[in-house]
Structures are given as C-alpha cells and as structure tokens.
Structure 1
Amino acid sequence: MPISGNLAVTDDYQTVPARHTVAVLSAAKQFVVQQQPTPQCGPNEIMIRLEGCGVCASNLPVWEGRPWFEYPLPAGAPGHEGWGRVIAVGDQVETFSVDQRVACLGDRAFAETMCVPAEDAVCLPEELDDIPFPGEAIGCAMNIFKRADVRPDQTVAIIGAGFLGLLLVQLSIAAGARVIAISRRAEVRQLAEQLGAEISFDTEDWWGNAQKVIEYTQGRGCDRVMEVTGMQFALDMATEMIGEYGKLVIGGYHQDGLRQVNMQKWNWRAIDVINAHERDRHRYIQGIREGISATISGRISPQTLLTHRFSLEQLNDAYQMMCDRPDGFIKGWIEL
C-alpha cells in the first residue's frame, strides 16, 4: 500500500525517505544496523520520524539469548519506547497532523521511522519539547501506581529502584506517602532518599532487611509494597514486609521461569495481590497521557533519570551497560 496522507514541510522533515536506517537483532548480543525500505503508512496510521527510544530492561533476555527465542527479530524490534514527529498521516486519520510531536506504542522503534495506528499515539505538548520522553515506560509507571491506590500517610515500600522504581518513588511521595526504597545499588538508594524516600535498604540480605522494615513500621508492615524487579527474591521480600490488608503490587516482568510464593502468609495477612501489567492498549495510552500531566506538573521528572544516550550503532553497548549498571546509570536511550 503506498503512503497516503500529507507529507511534512519543515526543514527537518521535508520528505518521507524511500529507505531508512534500522537495527536488527540478528543473534544474541548482535544488533546490526541496516538500510531497509521505509515502512508503508496505512490509511488509519501515522508515520513517525523517531527522535529516540528508551532501552527497556524487560528486553535483556532476548538480547542475551535464551533457547526459546528465534533470530533474527523483526527489524526495529524490540524497541517499544519511541517518540518523535509525525511525517505522514493516513487518509482516514483526523486526529494528527504533520510535524506534531508524539509518544507512541509500537515494538519496531529501533529505527529512523515507524508506522503505528493513530490510536496508539499521544501528542506531546510544547512544554515537553526539549526533553526525551519514552512514553510507554512512563505510562507503565503511571498504571502501576494507579493500581497500587496509594493514599496519604501510608507506608509504601518499592523494591527495585531503576527508572520505573524511581518514578514510583516520586509518585508515592507526591501522594503524601512515607516511602521506603529498596535496591542493591548504594548510589541509587541515596538518590531515592534525595527524592524524598524516608529510608532505604539493600537487597543483599533481603530477609534481614525485610525484618528491619517491620521494625521501622513498629510491627505493622507496609500498606503497599510495589515489586518492580521481576525476580523471585523480591516476591519473597515483599511477602515478609506487607502488612495486614495491604496491597502487594507486582510490576516486575517475571519472564524467566516459574515463581513460588508463601501462600500461607498471603492468606493469613488477608492481602490483595495485584498484577499491575496491562493488556488493554487504551489503558497504556491513558497511562502515557497521565505521565505527560505528571511531568508537566512536576510530580515526576523522568528526564533526570535518562542518564545515558546512545546512537543506533551503539545498541549493543546500551544493552551491555544495562547489564553492568555502572555508577551513575539509571536508564539508557537511543537517539535517532
């Protein structure tokens, strides 16, 4: 299907290129950059000249390699945190126009251009023009926080203090909660306290530190525990810390095998266990909208957590850095 709709007329977006640059994960730990035909824009789609894409920790397994993955991945995959400017709109699209800046859903965003259904994009206001905005990741934080139902004066523990966890720290503090941050990295725990967390603990002795959290809460435990690591120990630690009638919110992506839980403690404490992953795309989009509002209002500052910028040719370096997590690293993103 040929491209349909209007083309951009600005200096930066004068035309839709016949070919574009795209990254292909050809094998484990082997992104290769290629020139391929530009994707075609359907009647209900918009074409985006991507400015950037976040690098998500949930995609580490497919980059590292597992027996069940098949390579090569589709061109541009698994990039799914893209944003950029509209350069063409389909004939049936009335909600967007050329040159609007948008954040979008779509898992082919390690590329110069990407086409997505118009309903899978959100306009970014002028207030955000100067900052990178991985909307999908920010929307995930907003949706997890909504499901957690944090109230003023509650005690909230957040296990995992990467990009997602630190956004949840900011949101919980803005909601008037007392926040406990838990991370294996000392500098990240310090950052969480600078953002307003009352106290932080490491994960090396997760059981012992869970008992310290119980002591800190005078035996009551936490009203909310948000787990965002996707690891077994975090579920175990959350189980130890949660108070009676609390909410244990699972935001981590548990993708590398079965998990065990202490159901007796879950039963005894009468807790709610919430799987805070979404499958409704409309909820993802609503989360992005709410993330935009939270950023403009200052409830969150995602731009300060995007610590390392890479080119498309440096994708392998970006993933390796996410594995190594050197000092100063929170989240990497690809500039396109």
Structure 2
Amino acid sequence: MITNDKEQMVSETMQAAILAAPERFEMVEVARPEPGPGEVRIRLEGCGVCASNVEPWAGQPWSSFPGEAGGMGHEGWGIVDAVGPGVSDVHPGDRVATLSCHSFAAYDIAAADALVVLPPALHRRPFPGEPLGCAMNIFRRSDIRPGHTVAIVGIGFLGAILTRLATDAGARVIAISRRDESLALARHYGAAETIPMHDHWAIIEEVKRLTGETLCDRVIEAVGKQWPLDLASAITGFGGKLIVAGYHQDGPRQVNMQDWNWKGIDVINAHERDPAVQMRGLREAVDAVASGRIDPAPLYTHRYPLTQLDEAIAATRDKPQGFVKALITFGDAA
C-alpha cells in the first residue's frame, strides 16, 4: 500500500456515523479502512446529504439497526491518502469525487475506477459528485432538443440543475414547485415560466394555456411522491416523454395507464445502475462545473459537521427557509 508522507501521523481509527435507531445517528470510533487491490482510501472533505437518505434514516419496515459505519453517505469528495496494490492512475494527494457509499465518516474506500480526479479549477470547491453526475445522466435520458417545452416538477437541487441544462439545450422550461423561493431559484437557472404547485387541476389548465393546449414534449418528475407523478403524467403531451427522476422508495405507486396509453407517451426511469454510465455522468459533471457551464454553488445552502448529521437529514426532510441542499463537511474543508 502506498501512502503519503503524513501517513504515520494519522490515527488508525476514525470517526464515523452509525444509524443506531430511527432518526438517531451515533458517532463512533472505528478502525480506519485499508484499501485492497484496485482500491483507494479517501480522507473526506465532505459529503452531500441526499433526499434518499430521509426514509432510511426515519426507519422503514425492513430496517435493521445498527447500520454500517458511514453508511448512507454516497456523495463524498476528498483527498486520496492511500492506494492499494495495482493502482497506478490515482495517487496520494489527488483531490477526487467518488462513487462510494460509506462517506458519513472521516475516510471512505472507493474502487480506483469509481472516482474522478478534480481539476485545479475546482480547488477548494465542494463537489458532491454523485448527484451532479445523476443530473447529467437524467438530462441525457430525457432527450431534450431545441424548441421542446419541458416541464420540471419539483425544483430542488436536481430540478435546478436540470433547468439549467434544459435551457442551455434550447428548450423552454416550465418549472413547477411548492415554494416561492424554489420558483425564484428556477428562474435564476433559466426557467421561462413558473407555476406554484398548489392545485392539481389549476396547474394542468395553466400548462395548457402556456402550450396552446398541446402540453409538454418532456416532463421531468423530480420529487419522488405520488401526486407529483400524477401531475407529471397529466401534463405530458401526445407522443411526449415522462422522465421519472424522483426517487420513489416509500411504497408502491399507481399510474393512470389509460392516460399513458391514450397519449402514447414514453416513460423513462432515469436512475442509472450501470457503473460505466454512472462514471460517464460524473466525468461530464466535473467538466460542466469546471468550465462554468453549470454553477451549483448557490444550491449548497446548509453545512453541518458530521456530529449534526441528524439535523442535516431533518432539514433535508423539512426544508426550512432558504434550504436547497445540505453538505456534511469535515474540519476546515470547503
């Protein structure tokens, strides 16, 4: 194993968060992981909090406790501090974004082919790579073209990024969300029209008015709940595409199959599971942010230390004033 010069000064243990019970993480001292063949160890600077963390944190019927050390943290970035046998393209000291899954801890292990080295343009800038890469993959799956009318249902972190990408592709974006501040965020990222998400039938009528009764070429549902999915189905036009970007993990869903059939729409589940596709999205996200094509900085609204992980996930659930996305940061990290 190759380490940096400071390796011997680093403790062989680390602090990690373990979900001990519903809505209760405990901070524990555990053995610092060692990279195996083809792996690297990352000293984490931070990890994003994902909306998909909320249900497991609250507890589900199939949940068991305690969870794994660092578990649920999958949006990490940091500094490589050790590499395992067979790793030659990544070196201690490289700053990376990873696709790993135990990043609610001081260190995480990632496969060397599941990370991207961050360029100097991103120096000291937070980079939760997984959700940024997810946005790029959803955008590709959405097949958005110049002249399309695209509705995005739910403007949070993902919806805002997709608004920018769709607008830059030449589409006219209609943003639909509950909070006025979310609609203002959508306008900041390029939305041409905004609609408050309050009344199902009133929203449909407004979309009809804005589109001359044709409804939308593409609709991206980015909430992960039943009603937004129903609404997204209703405002997808004939021959259009409904893209499911929200993460539905709290139970079964019902769909209006008659409406889907009648309108002949394509329904796309845009959650990628192919590691090669996930990595392509991550690389595209690094390029997009480094070049200034997208600027996620205004979306990182709340920062917490690891010891306040419960508060960070509660805020992700409750969305206090001004909230878009929470980051867990370590020490004096960006």
What TM-score, normalized to structure 1?
A: 0.96
Question: How many residue pairs get matched?
Answer: 330
Residue identity in the other structure for 2:182:
V
Instruction: Decide whether the 8 Å contact of 1:310 with 1:333 is kept in 2.
Output: yes
Q: Does 1:46 align with 2:40?
A: yes
Return the letter of the residue paired with 1:115: I
- The amino acid across from 2:56 in the alignment is V
Task: Report the counterpart of residue 56 of structure 1 in structure 2.
Answer: 50
User: Corresponding residue for 2:24?
Assistant: 30
Select the residue among 268, 276, 283 that pairs with 1:289: 283
Give the superposition deviation at 1:195.
Answer: 2.1
Q: CA deviation at 1:208?
A: 1.7
- How do 1:164-243 residues align onto structure 2 when only pairs under 5 Å count? 164-243=158-237
Residues 174-211 of structure 1 deviation map (CA, whole Å, 9 limit, x = unaligned):
11110011111111101211222111112221232122
Cα distance in 2 for residues equivalent to 1:242 and 1:214: 10
2:271 maps to: 277
The within-5 A match list for 1:10-29 is 15-29=9-23
Residue 211 of structure 1 contacts residue 241 of structure 1 at CA under 8 Å; is this kept in 2?
no
Q: Cα gap change, 1:118/1:16 in structure 2, threshold over 3 Å: closer, same or farther?
A: farther
Distance in 1 of aligned mates of 2:287 and 2:33: 31
What is the alpha-carbon distance in structure 1 between the residues aligned to residue 9 and residue 165 of structure 2? 40
Q: Does the CA-based 8 Å contact 1:8-1:15 persist in structure 2?
A: no
Q: Which residue of 1 aligns with 2:317?
A: 323
Aligned-pair identity in percent equals: 48
Q: CA deviation at 1:311?
A: 0.1
Aligned counterparts of 2:131 and 2:207: Cα–Cα separation in 1: 28
Residues 15 and 87 in structure 1, CA contact (< 8 A), matched pair in contact too: no
Retained in 2: the 8 A contact 1:133–1:303? no
For 2:237, what is the secondary structure of its paired residue?
strand
Q: Does 1:309 align with 2:303?
A: yes
1:126 matched residue in structure 2: 120
Letter in 1 for 2:224: G
Deviation at 1:266, TM superposition (A): 1.0
Q: Which moved more, 1:155-164 or 1:190-199?
A: 190-199
**Matched position secondary structure for 1:88:** strand
Superposed CA RMSD: 1.2
State the Cα distance separating 1:130 from its structure 2 match.
2.4
Quote the residue 2:154 is aligned against. Answer: 160
Q: Matches of 2:87 and 2:223 in 1, distance apart?
A: 39
Deviation at 1:16, TM superposition (A): 4.6
Q: Is the 8 A contact 2:119 2:290 kept in 1?
A: no
Give the equivalent residue in structure 1 for 2:93: 99
- Quickly say closer, same or farther: Cα 1:283–1:19, change in 2 above 3 A: same
Alignment check: 8 A CA contact 2:155 2:176 kept: yes
Q: Deviation at 1:15?
A: 4.8
What is the CA–CA distance in structure 2 between the aligned matches of 1:206 and 1:231, rounded to whole Å? 14
- Is this contact kept in 2: 1:39–1:114, CA < 8 A? yes
Structure 2 CA distance, aligned partners of 1:14 and 1:310?
Answer: 29
Q: Which letter does structure 1 place at the counterpart of 2:33?
A: P
Task: Kindly state the Cα deviation for residue 299 of structure 1 after the two structures are TM-superposed.
Answer: 2.3
Structure 1 unmatched runs, 5+: none
- Separation of aligned partners in 1, 2:10 and 2:218: 48
Q: Deviations over 1:195-235 (max 9, x none)?
A: 22111112221232122111110011111000011111111
Matched residue of 1:229: which SS? coil
| Contact 2:161–2:189 (8 Å) recurs in 1 | no
Cα distance in structure 2, aligned partners of 1:173 and 1:297: 17
Question: Structure 1 residues 186-195 or 99-108, which shifts more?
Answer: 186-195
Structure 1 residue 157, shift from structure 2 partner: 0.5
- The 1:171–1:15 alpha-carbon spacing in structure 2 relative to 1, beyond 3 Å, is farther
Judge conservation of contact 1:79–1:109 (CA < 8 Å) in 2: yes
CA contact (8 A) 1:224 1:249 kept: yes
For residue 49 of structure 2, what is the amino acid of its counterpart? V
CA distance in 2, matches of 1:7, 1:77: 25
CA distance in 1, matches of 2:5, 2:205: 61
> d(CA) in 2 for partners of 1:230 and 1:15?
45
CA contact (8 A) 1:154 1:224 kept: yes
Once residues 125 and 14 of structure 1 are traced to their aligned partners in structure 2, the CA distance between those partners, rounded to angstroms, is 28
Structure 2: state its 5+ residue gaps: none
- How far apart are residue 14 of structure 1 and its match? 6.7
Please give the alpha-carbon distance, in whole angstroms, between the structure 2 residues aligned to 1:139 and 1:15: 34
Q: Distance in 2 between matches of 1:46 and 1:189?
A: 41
Query: How far off is 1:271 after superposition?
Result: 1.1
- The secondary structure found in structure 1 opposite 2:53 is helix
